[in-house]
Structure 1
Amino acid sequence: MLMLGRAQVREVLEDADEEVLRAVREAYLCHQQGLTAVPHSVFLRFPDDDRNRIIALPAYLGGEDPVAGVKWIASFPANIETDLPRANAVMILNSVRTGEPEALVEAATISARRTAASAALAAATLAAGTPDTGVTLFGCGVINGEVLRFLRTTLPGLTAVTVFDLDAGRARSFAEASAARYPTLTVEVAESAAAALRAHRLVSLATTAGTPHLDAAYCPPGTLVLHLSLRDLSPATVLASTNIVDDADHVCRASTSLHLAEQEVGHRDFVTASLGSLLSGAPYRRPDDGLTVFSPFGLGILDLAVARLVRRRAADQGVGTTLADF
């Protein structure tokens, strides 16, 4: 059993952004080809507590180097008020031959990077006729920090960033840190949600919202919304948009905005395509009018793809602790 902690996972993923993007892309293509098994996630909630949850995401990812396992991820939004991570996670990787556990890996880093890589891959795949040079990051936490990291790889022409958070201090700190980390980017803080949505035709939503709260009417025509937090947009906005998902069966549940839209109209005809189908087909150009929304539930196969990469790089670098008698 190989055991890797948070610092070790970050160490082996250093300078591996392009490899992470390739791993996520390959996972989507495997899913499109039917080479995966992705049971529905299991949500553990607590009595009299509608904010905190722990989610189990079991999955199997086939292909040339098949892998199976499960991610167990806790989301406690109030943690950020005491400088604790909102998300804490662990992954177990099992042998697909014997079922034996082969690796125990800290997975909050993996989860954040696979989410961000998915968003950045979607931004490149759902490109506009005029390349996006600016992005609005709505929610100034770990996820959007990673989104910016990966967007710089998939959108090399990116020059401007606008950030917004309900906590103005957090937004300012995020902007300062981003400007220091990426000196070639102009980073500004929006004074309101409306101003943030108007700023660019690429928007990444990574909030802790439990119910819809945004009016997408402020978005310019041709905007792509990376709807990572899944519950920000109203059903009316979803129904009026071009909707790209990772997997309709997964994203239309658990009171996501798409789930609410499905309940309202009684069907899923508003879902245009999956990202995997677009990756395996002809180049796609997003509409110049209206809104395009990418809503990824976050499939467990993406965690497996990045965890497999982590395990491989850790073995190559001699990183981690091996427990022989687990």
Structure 2
Amino acid sequence: MLYLNDEHIRELGWDWSRLADLIEEAVRTMDAGGSAAPLKGYLRFPGTPNRIIATPAYLGGSTELAGIKWIAGFPGNPQRGLPRARNLIALNDPSTGEPLAVLRSDRLNGLRAAAVSGAMLRWYAELRPASGGGFTVGIIGWGPIGRLHLDMAAALLGPRLERVLLHDVRGIAEDSIPPELLGRVEATTDWRELYRQSDVTATCTVAPSRYIDEPPPQGALLLHVSLRDYEPHSVAGLRTFVDDWSQVCREDTDIERLHAAGLLAEPDALTLADAVCRDALAPLAGETIFFNPMGLGIFDLALAGDFYRRALAEGLGVGLD
């Protein structure tokens, strides 16, 4: 069995186009019936906000792996100098059940989140011809997930990324911004300033309560990574996409609140598979898109499996008996 950690992942490196391709391939495999993804299980600790989430899955196609993601979210960790989220993925051979690898990598969780956003961003970017001008991307929440979203957007949009607006309640340190993007990045003191000017807004927060209380600009793409930022009335009636309705309409997400308020039903929501497999975004040019990815286990398997196989090929990692 192979053991990989964050250092191994960094040494292997990644390409955002490849990661987005892996997400799209996983979506096509899922859409063709080649996957299984039971509902996530939540282990909660009485009297605390701490939790550990279990995400079992099987993904066929070129991945052909089973496994489970076991990710801990402990909000008090940053005050202890520790990461808020701690991530572990175990991979199994689906034909024998044999454990193949353990990946102890917080970075993989962020890569998966940004790669899923990247898959949607690429389809959205195609709606606007290159002659239509560049993009302003706004990122609310400047933690590890927000920073990876900036890296992803810069890689996938290239010169079409004209301007970046950042907001975090803790402020934005200049030395945290990639040097090659400094001329295009501005920090804002109010999320509204960012929100009203952005063609693409990624919410990557751990906000304790909803705070976005106004409709987005017409035609914007909302990459709602953190799932609990919008008051229902601010996003009611938007073209809403999810990765999987049964996974995301639970656990007090904004999708569940919209559904409970009678503002969104499952037949009204489109899926990432509709975008990837049926070009569902093409007729929606000029409309505002509200994308809510719960984060499916098949996406974690797609990326973890790719890093696992690359590590085998390059002789990286630690072998365990």
| 8 Å Cα contact 1:202/1:224 also seen in 2 | yes
Q: Deviations over 1:58-116 (max 9, x none)?
A: 00001134100001001122322343211111111011111111101113211110110
Bigger mean CA offset, 271-280 vs 300-309? 271-280
| Residue type of the alignment partner of 2:140 | F
| 8 Å Cα contact 1:179/1:187 also seen in 2 | no
For the pair 1:19 / 2:18, whether they are aligned, the reply is yes
What TM-score do the two structures reach when normalised by structure 2?
0.92
Please state whether the residue corresponding to 2:286 is helix, strand or coil: coil
- Shift in CA distance, 234/271, structure 1 to aligned 2, threshold 3 Å: farther
Shift in Å, 1:270: 6.8
- Shift in CA distance, 259/131, structure 1 to aligned 2, threshold 3 Å: farther
Aligned residues: 315
Identical pairs, percent: 31
Please state whether the residue corresponding to 2:259 is helix, strand or coil: helix
Please state whether the residue corresponding to 1:97 is helix, strand or coil: coil
| Residue type of the alignment partner of 1:297 | M
Mapping for residues 1-326 of structure 1, pairs under 5 Å: 1-12=1-12, 14-49=13-48, 51-127=49-125, 128-129=127-128, 130=132, 132-156=134-158, 157-168=160-171, 171=172, 173=173, 175-180=174-179, 182-183=180-181, 185-217=183-215, 219-265=216-262, 268-269=265-266, 271-282=268-279, 284-285=281-282, 286-289=284-287, 291-324=288-321
| Residue type of the alignment partner of 1:262 | H
- Shift in CA distance, 93/80, structure 1 to aligned 2, threshold 3 Å: same
CA–CA separation in structure 2 for the residues paired with 1:267 and 1:120: 25
Please state whether the residue corresponding to 1:126 is helix, strand or coil: helix
| Residue type of the alignment partner of 2:206 | T
What TM-score do the two structures reach when normalised by structure 1?
0.91
Runs (5+) with no aligned partner, structure 2: none
CA–CA separation in structure 2 for the residues paired with 1:166 and 1:43: 28
Runs (5+) with no aligned partner, structure 1: none
Shift in Å, 1:159: 2.4
Bigger mean CA offset, 247-256 vs 83-92? 83-92
| Residue type of the alignment partner of 1:5 | N
CA RMSD in angstroms comes to 1.9
- Shift in CA distance, 316/9, structure 1 to aligned 2, threshold 3 Å: same
| Residue type of the alignment partner of 2:237 | A
CA–CA separation in structure 2 for the residues paired with 1:125 and 1:4: 32
| 8 Å Cα contact 2:255/2:264 also seen in 1 | no
